[in-house]
Each structure stands twice: as structure tokens, then as C-alpha cells.
Structure 1
Amino acid sequence: MSQPASPATEIPVELFRQILIWPLLIHAPHGESAMELMDLVTDELERHSWHWNDRSAGQSASPLKGLPWYQDDHDYSEIVYFHSYVRDFLYGGDGTPASERPLRVLRRTDIASLLLKVDEGREYRLKVERVEAYLFDSGILQVVVEVAAPQLVSKSPTDSEQLRPFMLSDALDLQNVLRMAFPRRWKPKTGIPSETPHRACWLNSEGSEIAGSVQDFLNQEDFTRIVREQAELPAAKHWQYLVQPLPLFERRVCTGLSVKQIEDQRLPSMSYIAVPDPRLISDGDFERIAFFDSAGQSSVGSYSDEFLVGWEKDHAYDRFWQRLPSEGGPEVALHNQMMRTRWLCSGYGFAVVGASGDKFFTTQIAANFRHHYFRMGLIAHFHRAKLISLRDQLAEATKQVGENFRNRVMEIQRSATIFRARFWFHEVSTQLQGREIFTWWSNRLGNPSLFEHVISDIEAAESQVRTEFEAEESQDINLITRVGGAIGILSIVLSIVALIISLLALEAISPLKQFAIMPANPWDWTVANLWLGRIASIACPLSIVSLWILLVVYGGLRYYKSHRRTRRLR
């Protein structure tokens, strides 16, 4: 029999780490190509502590430069975990020069830790283990921050500080506030932000606050100005600091490169939680872990009972989890030890929960979390970001008219075709569990349905463009037909004129001969016939010339139409 569940305040968390993924859309107003845009963004980020390790590698760059650190067997197992087309995408294993790959990984090492003041009595200090920027040639930038080993500092009324144990209730609160890029609202009267820390900043290796990265969430003006003036999303200063010198997108202000947020205030996140016995976690707290909700009453969930009926079917992956240990002798003990790992996913959140006493969980699963699962999450959120980007571009294209609209739609169609052929992965792994988790994660994000919706909208816009092309072709054909008919009539008229001229010439010669006005000798009549022939030689070619004009004009119009249509569809 299993033990009754314990409150989250009584379950210690012995290992905790969280990976945050901040998806951004790069706004480039000058229409740079994909590679030009990547070069510009790389240059800008390298001005502010970022480093692209592949910059000087050129043709000789190792295909493994896309890995954070290639040091041990975990990196090896990560690479062989994925299909060949995914390996090409992530690591550039196809031999493509670093400057031409569709993905660049930039890193920075100047940030050592993160300080979060949650409320007046609690502060968290977390070790920063990874700060990376994944730059995609499709104009997507994903900033990744990994934090671990939280220290909870509790302040007493006398302002003395003391470390206290880190419990599951703390982990629930922390994983929620960590992912907040900006407050959703402030509480009336008190002005305290809802579900965000009161203060956040990055610390350097000496433990000092990094200038420009300090965010006081109580200062509402830091967030409300851009919303009030531009109707764009804000971001806390400690997040903005990471992408400097690129500013947040403001439609009426930004004239150069900028970044535009894709999601709402809650950044996509991944959590790794190890507790002594995960079977003591209540269903309500498992649901909070899955949905990244703050701590609450462990005996109930954050939502209604009706909503939570069967939530595990969609949000829990229980291949190696069972609440009740199997009954039997010592031979089933190992099996029971292994069945204590649970994967939870809400799409925007992904968590792995297991036993801190399970060596396999604290070594292999922990490494898989940072490598295999992180890569799958990176791809899944890239898919979502790209689809949202395409939908946004299509909405902007509808504001154009005429030729500009048609050209923009064809560019979007081309981009969607490349994305669909090269980067839309239905499955990523050679392993069954990897295929199942990636499909499950993508479904929770709604990527398949979003893909169908966006592609359908793009195809509808393309159909409209082709309808307009066909209508213009029909108009051009009508024009060619009318011009051809007019030239045909002209040629007939010219032929008739030539015939009349010839007849009039003959009629003019006869009376001259009768009244002896013209010379009577044969030689003189030969001269008259010669002039008649000259008249005919001028009149008759008029018919031929008119026919040539018809053919040249017709052919020219057809060539112009064909060239114009080819240029549009290119």
C-alpha cells in the first residue's frame, strides 16, 4: 500500500533546475536576406558579451559546434538520439560552412547567478549554468537561460538573513515566477505585481549586480509605457539586458533591428525536480507542476474538479511511473525503484519528477533533461514561433494592395514551403520514447493544428493571388485579341488601298493614251508600265508590312505577359 500524500510544504526538493526559453521574432525593416539578417544580428549581439564560436572556424568548423559542450558521453548520446535531418539542423553535420547554416548558437559567460526577491520575506539566489541564443535563418531568436541549485534566503522582521530548506512549495512558486517576462497586472491599492517577483537582477562572478539588469517590478511605468503608447508587449529589464543592443519592437519608433515577443508574459519553461519519494506528491501538486502554477492547498488542484478529470491522460507520460508499488518479493524491488519517474507537460511547460535516491534519475535522466529533452523543446517551440511568425507576416501582407500584396504573399509562400520541407519535423528521434515525447509535447503546444491553420491561410492567400494573375492574363488576352483584330483590319484596309491605287493608275493611263497626251511609241509605253510597276511595288508590300506588324505586336505582348508572370512567381 502507498503512503498518503504529503503537503508540498513538507516535501524537500534535493535537486532542482529550470530551463527558460524566450522566443523572439527579429524585426528587420530593410528587407535583408536570411544570411544577411543572421550576420547583422550576430554582429549586434557580439557587441554585448555574446560570442559565436563558429565565426572564425569557416569551412573547417566542427559539426559539433552547435553543442553547448562536447565533453562526455552525454553529448554523444544526444547526437545519436536524433534523425539525420534533425542532426543536420541542430549541428550542421552535413558539412555546410558555419556561415551558411540555418542555426547559429551564441553564448555568454559574464552572468554567474540570478537574484530574485519574491516578496518581503524571501529571496532566491540561483546559479546560472547556461545563457545561449539560438539564431535561426527564418528570423527567429530563442534566448535560453538555465538556472539550478536555488538557495532560499528567508528574512526575519529584524532583517537578519538565514538559509532555510528548499521545499516543493518553494519549487512551485519559483518555477512560476521565474518564467514571468512582465507582470500581467498589479494588485489594487498595494501596487504589488501579480505572480511575478518584486525584484530581479543578474549577478556577476563576484556576486555584484550587473548594471542595467536590475528590474523593480513595483515600478509600473517600466512596463506600461510601451503598452500604452505602442500596444506592444513589454519585458523586464533583466530579460531585455540579455538581447542588448537590440531593443524591443515599437512600431512607430524602431527604424533598425529590433526583437518582438511572440508569447505572453509566461516564457516556455522546463523543470527538473528530484525529491526523496515522488509518490508522496499529491495529485493536486502534480497538476501544479504540470501547469507551472504556484503553490496552493495540496489536497486540491488549481482548477475545478470537472476540468481536472482525467488530466493525466493528456498531460502525464507515465511509461516509468506507478503510484502503487508492485506487490511481490525482493525480485520486484528493482522494478518498484524504477517506476518513480514521471514526465509532465502542458505545452508551455515541461517537467520531469523523480526520486533523489535513484542514481539513474540523478545522472542519466538529469543529463537527458539538459540535452535530449531540451533539444526537443527547442525544436517544438521553434516550430510554434515560426508558425506564429508566418501568421503575423500574412496579416501584415493583407495591409498591402496590388502588386505589393501579391509579391509579399509569394514571399511568405516561399518561406512556408522551405519551412515545411526542411524544418517541420513530425518526429525527431530514432528512439520510441523520444518520438512519443516529442509528439506529445507538440500536441500539447497545439503545433499540428496551428500548422494546418496557418498553411491553409497561406494557401488561401496564394489562391487569391493566382486568381488575380489569371484575371490579368484574361484581360491581356482580350487586349491582344483586340489589338490583333485592329491590325488585321488595318492590313485589309491597306491591301484595299493598294488595289485601288493600282486600279486608279491603270485608269489614269488609258485616257492619256486615247488623247495622245502620253507618247505613242512603244518605248514610251514601256516607261509608263515601268511607273505602274513602281506604284504596285509600293502598294503591295503594304499588305505584307501590316501582317508583320500584327505578328510582332502579338508576339511582343505575349512575351511581356510571360515575363511579367514569371517575375511575379519567382
Structure 2
Amino acid sequence: MAQEKRVKHLRQTLLWPVYLLPLDENAPLQDHWEHLATPSPDNPWSEVDDEFGDPSEFQARHYNEFVTFLPPVQRFLYGQGLGRSVTKVYGESPIRVMRRHDVRRARVTLAEGDVPIELGVVHVDLYFFFDIDIALLTLEVCADDLPLDTAQNLLFRFGRAYPAYWEQDSGRGGHCPWKVEWLDADGQVLATSDYENREKYLSFVCRHRAPTTASHWEFLMSPLVLHHADKKGLVRYRQLEYYRMPYMAYLALDRADTLARSDSIRLALGNEAGGEAATLPYSDNYLADFEQRYCYDRNFSAGGGQKAASVRFLASGDTLVVTGDAADEFYACAQTGILARFRHQHFLMFMIAHFQKAALHMFSDRLVGAVSRLDITNPKANRVFRRDIRNAHENFLRFAHRYWFHHISHQAQVHELFEKTRGHLRLDDLYSEVREELQDMGSFLDVEAMRKQNETVVRLTVVTTFGLVGTVTTGFIGMNLFDWTQQPTLWRVLSFLAVFLPTFFLTLYTVVKSRRLSDFLDSLSDETVTWGRRWRALMRVWFGTPGP
């Protein structure tokens, strides 16, 4: 009988991006994190202190993390100090991190009747970004000494925001754990999942045409409130991703060399355990280039024999998994080894890629909403549309220059993993789509502005043309053909009004009829137009209908 494969240490970091709704529709910038900055009984979040505050507490790990990234990315992640005037150009980091400490453990039951798995909760953080209405919920959990099959099923089922379906026989949420419980430091249950409550999910989608979230994730996000929920809350969010959350996983195996190809495939693509090691989850044709597409094997060697030769990275975009031998000190070191890099450098790399994806989805969603509210016959709707598109252009410009990176590091491992992750997420294609949508809407606004400008010019031209009558009249009076200087004042005032009032009303009339008068002038100046058509054009000016 083959020896059971075991995971000596497991880490999973879930990343859940959500779209934050504006607090004020008219405000160009939204500071959502300010409403979570003060802890209270209803708000368990508090801001994480900057690690760059006290030099005496600044560790080598922090330094290693910092120098991994290129200077533009360093300014994005950490900002710059204000010790010299030149650094005031960049200022502090545009990232704000909130953390809650009440959830200390998670108890996960994968299937009915299974022994619950106790997970230690390392961090529960919320990442906010200046000028981008995105929040990233990050949850890092850990466990020791699990069978590999159990670890695979845990990675597959744990990060589910809501069920995709329900199993016919048991009513269990499809692909979801049987139960998830958040525990505090004393082991008291803070929240429990409700994947099996099918009526809740069905009625919510029926009423709101949007999915709701499981109760334990809803608790973890509080006091943030799902947009369509009936609960009150100032900071509200909408979902951007589908029900499965992107995640990172670190597996320290008892013997990494026993990991089969089918195991690597299931870990890379986020599949559940498959039983027989030789059974592939997909066809041979589909998996023919698996190693090239999903595996990062810069140092991996199936035969071992060198430092970190058992370390293998698996990247599919929505997952980033690293496997290695628990007996390898470099792999298991939490200060300078692969585990430290996984929790810090690799996490930041993964976070940047998914933040960019979420931000682009947010821009696309915002543009769809702006177009949906557009009504070209409604002047107020037009003004709101112009304001929304102008704000979107402004925000996208800042995003493109502050948050958009093709390269984040010259260190080969981070650089190449970032490239592989970006490729699977198709970030460049998504960026091009959003940029083209913005350009199309900007072009529409330019065309509308030119159309209104042309209409104004036409109106002024018509008014000027027909105003020649009044100009000639007043000029005629001013030529002194009649000596009215000796006439009484009342006579002269009445004479002025006799010319001014008809000229004034004629000018108003030409403004009102300027569009029709423009058509009449066009037909009058066109030598190919018959006099009958010219006559009908004149009738349209007077009566608004074709003449006889």
C-alpha cells in the first residue's frame, strides 16, 4: 500500500475584490477607509501601523521585501518619507490597510460527518486604494499535518462567496464546505456559514438580480454592507468576481518528490482531490502544454540534488501555488526563505495583479452605468453623463500613471511569476478594452460639443443675416435724411421705439426659427433647387409645415 502523502504545513491566502459604491455621487474622490478608522463595538477594524515608522523596529525582512520591487512600485506600495523636499512630490502610500483581530480561528467541515479542520487565522485585512473605489479582503489561514487530499479539497472549497448550485440528495451548497465557523480567541463561534439555505439565495437573486453572500463572509466584511442588502450601512459594496475567490497556497510536503503530475495539475487549476494519482482531471490534449502554461520551474528539478530543487510554482491567474519539501530549511524559513517570500513579496505581486483586474472591471462597470443613464433628450441627464465621463477619464488617467505596471521587479522569480499571472488574467486585453470604451465616450462628448457649437454658429449666422434689416433701418435713420432734431423729445422717443421694437421682435423670431431659416437659406442659395421647393421651405419657416 502506497504511503499517504501529507502536507506538513499549509498556508492559504484568499483575495476577494469588491467594488465600493460612492459615498457622495458628486464628489470626485471617495475616502471609504475613513469610516473604518475608528474602532467601535460595531466596527472591529483598525488601521495597520506603517512598518516604516520606527527604524529600530525595521527588520531585514521588511528591507528584503522593499528592494524586491522597482522604484515606481515601491512608491505605490510604501510611498516615500517626507524628510527631503523632493519626496513631497510622491508623499505617503496610496494604500490604506485595515485589520480586525476578533477572528482568530476557522473551523471548516468539508463534508457531512467529517472531522472539522481547525485553521489558524493569521490575518484578516481590508486594502483600500486612493482614488480607486476598490477594496480587497485578504484572509490568511494556516494548518499543520493534513493529508494531501484533504488539503486539496480545503483549497478547492474554502473560498466560496456563495454556492453555485445545491446537491440534490443532501441540499449542500455545490463545491462549498458543509460548514464554516469563525471562532474568537476563546473558541466561541462568531459566525457560521449558511450555504445550505437555498431559499435565501434564490429569493435574493429573484428580487435584486444579483447574488448575495454567505453569512460568514457577510460577517467578515461588516460593517461594510452588500449594496442590495436590506441592512443599513454607509459603506456599501458590490461584487466584481464570481463566487470563487482567487487564492494563494503554500504546501510544505513530507516528500515533495512523491507529488504526481495529476496532483500538480489539480493544485494549479484549483481542482478538488481526484483519488487515484494517475487520473488526470482533463484530457491529454488539453494538458499537453500544462508545464509550459502553468508551471514555473526555474529551480525545480524532479531528481532533486540542489538547493530549492523541490520548489515548484504553479500559476493559473486565479491561483498561485508553491510546493516544496518541508525538510528543506530554505523552503520552510519564515524569515528569509520561500515561506517569507510567499507571504510578502509574492503576496504583493499577486495583490497588484488582482487589484489591477478589479480596478479595470470597476471602470467598465462604471461606464456601463453612465451609458445606461444617458438620455440625449434630457438636458439634466446629459450634464450628469458629461460629469461621470469626465470623472472617469480623470480617475483612469491617475490609475494608468499610478497603479498600472507591466514590470514590477527585476528579480527573476517575482518578475516572471507576475508576467505569468498577468497573462492568465489577460490584463492587457482588459486594459485596452476599457481604454477604448473611454475613448469612444470621449469621442461622443466631442461630437456632441461640436454639434452644439455648429448649431450655435448657424443660429448666430441666421440672426446676423436677418438682423441686417434692422441694421439697415437704424443706419437709415442715422443718416440724417430727416431733420428730427427740432422735433419734441416724445416724438424722437416714439420714432426710436417704432424702429427698435420691430427689430427686437424680428431678432427674437429669427432665433426661434433659426434652424428652419437656415434650411430656407440653404435652399435659396442652391441653384439646383426649384422655386417650388424654395416656397415650401419658406412655408416651413412660417407655419412649421410644408406649403402648398
TM-score higher than 0.5: yes
In structure 2, the partner of 1:112 is 104
Letter in 2 for 1:111: V
1:64·1:93 contact (CA, 8 Å) conserved in 2? no
Q: Distance in 1 between matches of 2:301 and 2:351?
A: 29
Deviation track 1:303-335 (CA, whole Å, cap 9, x = no partner) reads: 22221111111111110112245xxxxxxx4x2
Deviations 1:516-544 (A, max 9, x none): xxxxxxxxxxxxxx749x99x999x99xx
Change (3 A) 1:177 1:267: same
* Residue aligning to 1:525: none
Which position in structure 1 is the counterpart of 2:215? 237
| Equivalent of residue 28 in structure 1, options 22, 26, 33 | 22
Q: After superposition, what is the alpha-carbon deviation per residue over 1:108-139, rounded to whole angstroms, capped at 9, x for unaligned?
A: 11111101111112311100111111011211
Q: How does 1:237-276 map to 2 (within 5 A)?
A: 237-250=215-228, 256-276=234-254
SS of 2:32's equivalent in the other structure is helix
Greater share of helix residues, 1 or 2? 1
Structure 2: give runs of 5+ residues left out of the alignment.
83-87, 375-381, 509-548
Q: Does 1:493 align with 2:487?
A: no
Following TM superposition, by how much is the alpha carbon of 1:33 offset from its aligned partner in structure 2, in angstroms? 4.2
- Residues 537-561 of structure 1 show CA distances to partners (whole Å, capped at 9, x for unaligned) of 999x99xx99xx9xxx9xxxxxxxx
Q: Distance in 2 between matches of 1:473 and 1:88?
A: 44
Query: Which SS does the other structure have where 1:15 is aligned?
Result: strand
Quote the residue 2:546 is aligned against: none
Paired with 2:200 and 2:53, the residues of 1 have a C-alpha distance of 38
Give the direction of change, closer, same or farther, for the CA distance of 1:65–1:35 in structure 2 (3 Å limit): farther
TM-superposed CA distance for 1:199, in Å, is 1.0
2:24–2:30 contact (8 Å) kept in structure 1:
no
Cα distance between partner residues in 2 of 1:323 and 1:169: 21
- Give the aligned partner of residue 47 of structure 2: 52
Q: 1:98 to 1:109 in 2, by over 3 A?
A: farther
Question: Could you tell me which residue of structure 2 aligns to residue 85 of structure 1?
Answer: 72
Is 1:375–2:375 an aligned residue pair? no
Deviates more, 1:438-447 or 1:371-380: 438-447
Moved more, 92-101 or 32-41: 92-101
Tell me the secondary structure at the aligned position of residue 481 of structure 2.
helix
For residue 256 of structure 1, report the CA deviation from its aligned partner: 4.3
Asked if the contact 1:45–1:243 (Cα under 8 Å) also holds between the matched residues in 2, the reply is no
Q: Which residue of 1 aligns with 2:539?
A: none
Q: Is residue 179 from structure 1 mapped to residue 159 from structure 2 by the alignment? A: yes
What's the CA shift for 1:252?
A: 8.9
The residue aligned with 2:435 is 455
For residue 405 of structure 1, report the CA deviation from its aligned partner: 1.9
Q: Deviations over 1:41-63 (max 9, x none)?
A: 54588842111145xxxxxxx57
1:74 to 37, 61, 75: 61
Residue in 1 aligned with 2:316? 346
Amino acid at match of 2:401: A
Q: Distance in 1 between matches of 2:447 and 2:37?
A: 41
Q: Alignment RMSD, CA only?
A: 3.3
Q: Is the 8 A contact 1:66 1:91 kept in 2?
A: no
Tell me the secondary structure at the aligned position of residue 400 of structure 2: helix
For residues 414 and 97 of structure 1, the distance between their equivalents in structure 2, rounded to whole angstroms, comes to 19
Q: How does 1:282-293 map to 2 (within 5 A)?
A: 282-293=260-271
Among 127, 148, 168, which residue is 1:134 paired with? 127
Q: Check conservation: 2:23, 2:30, Cα contact below 8 A.
A: no
Match of 2:165, SS? coil
TM (normalized to structure 2)?
0.81
The 3 A distance-change label for structure 1 pair 422 and 489 is: farther
2:329 to 341, 345, 359: 359
Amino acid aligned to 2:185: S
Q: 2: CA distance between counterparts of 1:321 and 1:100?
A: 39
Q: Secondary structure at the match of 1:64?
A: coil
Q: CA deviation at 1:278?
A: 2.0
Paired with 1:99 and 1:445, the residues of 2 have a C-alpha distance of: 31
Structure 1: where are the runs of 5+ without partners?
1-5, 55-61, 151-164, 326-332, 507-529, 554-570
Q: CA deviation at 1:404?
A: 2.1
1:22 touches 1:142 (CA, 8 Å); kept in 2? yes
Q: Note the C-alpha offset of 1:149.
A: 1.9
- Superposed displacement of residue 145, structure 1: 0.8
Q: 1:358 to 1:27 in 2, by over 3 A?
A: same
After TM superposition, give the deviation of residue 432 of structure 1 in Å: 2.7
Instruction: Report the Cα distance in structure 2 between the residues aligned to 1:105 and 1:243, rounded to whole angstroms.
Output: 14
1:122 to 104, 108, 115: 115
Q: Does 1:15 align with 2:9?
A: yes
The secondary structure found in structure 1 opposite 2:483 is: helix
Residue identity in the other structure for 2:126: A
Q: Is the 8 A contact 1:63 1:91 kept in 2?
A: no
Q: Is residue 312 from structure 1 mapped to residue 285 from structure 2 by the alignment? A: no
**Partner SS state of residue 10, structure 1:** coil
Match of residue 145, structure 1, among 139, 150, 160: 139
Can you list the C-alpha shifts for 1:244-269, whole angstroms capped at 9, x where unaligned? 12211118987843111111111110
Q: Residue 483 of structure 1: CA displacement?
A: 2.6
User: 8 Å contact 1:64–1:92 — kept in the other structure?
Assistant: no
Letter in 2 for 1:86: V
Normalising by structure 1, report the TM-score. Answer: 0.78
Counterparts of 1:298 and 1:66, CA distance in 2: 51
Partner deviation per Cα, 1:87-107 (whole Å, 9 max, x = no partner): 222122254799975210111
How many residue pairs are counted as aligned between the two chains?
482
Percentage of pairs with the same residue: 25
